[in-house]
Amino acid sequence: MTGRLSQQQLQRQTQKLSSQQIQRIKMLEITTPQLEEKIKQEVEENPALDSEEPEGSLEDQPKEISVDEYVDQQEARSYRYASSGGDKSSMPPADYNIFGGESMSEFLMRQLGYKSLTSRELTLAEYLVGSIEDDGYLRRDLSSLADDIAFSLGIETSAGELEQVLHIIHELEPVGVGSRNLRECLLLQLRMIPDKSESQKLATRIIECCFEEFSKRHFEKVISRLGVTEEQFRDACDDIRRLWPKPGNLHNEQRNGGISYITPDFILDTSNDRLDLSLSSANLPELRINQRYMEMLNHSNVGEGLTKEQSEQARQFVKEKIDAARWFIHSIQKRHDTLLRTMQAILSYQKEYFRSGDTTRLRPMILKDIAQATSLDISTISRVVNGKYIQTSFGTIPLKQLFSEAIATASGSEVSSSEIKHILMQSIEEEDKRNPLNDQQLLDILKARGYNITRRTVAKYRESMKIDVARLRRTL
């Protein structure tokens, strides 16, 4: 029996987001600094969008569109959101450098220029520098790099020759750059110290001979193996702690001024026993439609020197720019309204916390709670909260920190997981560092206070706070 082909007509309803809806969704995701950049970009690209009051005489205002201007504008990147795609519709990157300066690769190559290297050595060194990661480590195997160099540069080399070139890179700053592991990184820094003290010499011996035991905090084994006193060992540990485990990060901090700035998206004023919420929009310009372009749209002839067909095309061009400007202004207003609406609901939910700044006053709160309070979708709340901060009298707080799950107590009531984390942190800060509390002991403390959780949950909360296990918290 052979199968028969048949055709069938089905009616199916699907939901698709328009490009403008996607743009509005992305508007919610970006932070205040990114919004500033986005506004600057739009003002530069759309002549129908103004960000400040016009100054000067009419000669400073936009004139009627000439043929050349119209052609130039048409060749420029289109501002039509309805048909935009790819890079045209993308938002500013999440992370960007405020400060300029040399990259680490440029910094290393400049230093290599002062070395007496042959042309071959310089070529190999440049390839190795290009393989060093942002934190300063060279994690690729030298044999694999030798194969890559032969394939891409046509230079036959060996792991041994690359090792010699790598030793030259190890002499560069930041000290420790080009290390292949933490042990090598620490040793490079210790060996570069001139006129070492006794504790620095002992620190070098510890890393050279007992690194595995030291990294696992088996301190008694190290002390016994090296035949030193506990006081001598403690001084050497202090010297090791002063070293930099990621030399590339040190360069990046110096390059960026060593300062990381957070711009709050909301500002909360608690003076006069009130909770006054506002958006942080001090640097955001006021946007409006350029009146001259509105006048152009109403003229019978948009520009001088244009044919009827060109005039109609120019009129359509002006209309698209005005429509795009209106849509952008409306999108920003919609963003502001959604952000304030969401934050007001969070503020109402966590009123006691915002009045006191006490994390134990945080109520259990999940995205669904705020979605129900605002009648917005959970995905919308998630986009509003992600990456946003609120400035309060007790610090600048990430909004994500305000959300936590509920934990049942012995009395049957519910508390926020933030309260559990606060108790865990307090218990760990007060513990005997020679005999730190393990997860079971921390669990016993919580159960004694009436919190019904499991040991697995204790470990999850400890890891979320980036706190090591008891063995790694142990000190002498």
126, part of any domain: no
3-state secondary structure of 280: coil
* Cα 314 to the center of its chain, rounded Å: 42
Q: Is position 167 within any domain?
A: no
Q: Using the structure block, give the residue that is written with the tokens 């849509």.
A: 327
DSSP string, 369-419: HHHHHHT--HHHHHHHHTT-EEEETTEEEEGGGG-B-EEEBTTS-EEEHHH
Kindly state the helix (H) or strand (E) to which residue 53 belongs, with its residue range: none
- Number of compact structural domains in the chain: 2
Distance CA 277, CA 272 (A): 13
Confidence (pLDDT) at 280: 82
Q: Smallest Cα–Cα separation from 450: which of 413, 416, 403, 405?
A: 413
Final residue before a domain boundary, out of 243, 264, 279: 243
Tell me if 28 is assigned to some domain: no
Please state, in angstroms and rounded to a whole number, the distance separating the CA atoms of residues 261 and 247.
22
Residue 351 in contact with residue 392, Cβ under 8 Å?
no
Alpha-carbon distance of 76 to 337, in angstroms, equals 33
Residue 20 lies in a domain: no
- Asked whether residue 342 is domain-assigned, the answer is no
User: Model pTM?
Assistant: 0.54
What's the CATH number where 420 sits? Answer: 1.10.10.60
Find the domain containing 432 and state its range: 405-476
* pLDDT for the residue numbered 62: 47
CA angle 348, 352, 354 (to 5 degrees): 75
User: How high is the pLDDT of residue 301?
Assistant: 52
If you ran DSSP here, which 8-state letter would residue 284 be given? Answer: P
**Is residue 235 assigned to a domain?**
yes
Last residue in a domain, options 224, 243, 262: 243
Q: Residue 310's pLDDT is what?
A: 73
Residue ranges of the chain with per-residue pLDDT less than 70: 1-6, 8, 10-21, 52-101, 251-261, 282-283, 297-306, 412, 476
Between CA 288 and CA 364 the distance in angstroms is 42
Residue 356 within any structural domain of the chain: no
Q: How many CB atoms lie within 10 A of CB 419?
A: 21
Burial class, 186, CB count within 10 angstroms (exposed 0-12 / middle 13-18 / buried 19+): buried
Give the number of C-alpha atoms closer than 13 A to the C-alpha of residue 81, restricted to the C-beta side.
Answer: 21
Four-residue CA torsion sign, 434, 435, 439, 444: negative
Q: Report the pLDDT value the prediction gives residue 98, as an integer from 0 to 100.
A: 33
Cα–Cα distance measured from residue 146 to residue 159, given in angstroms and rounded to the nearest whole number: 6
Sheet of 266-269, strands arranged across: 276-279, 266-269, 389-392, 395-398
Q: Which residue has the tokens 């700035």?
A: 261
Last residue of a domain, one of 212, 243, 274: 243
Q: Cα separation of 447 and 210, whole Å?
A: 40
Specify the residue for token string 């930099």: 244
- Note the pLDDT of residue 52: 67
- The answer to whether position 259 is within a domain reads no
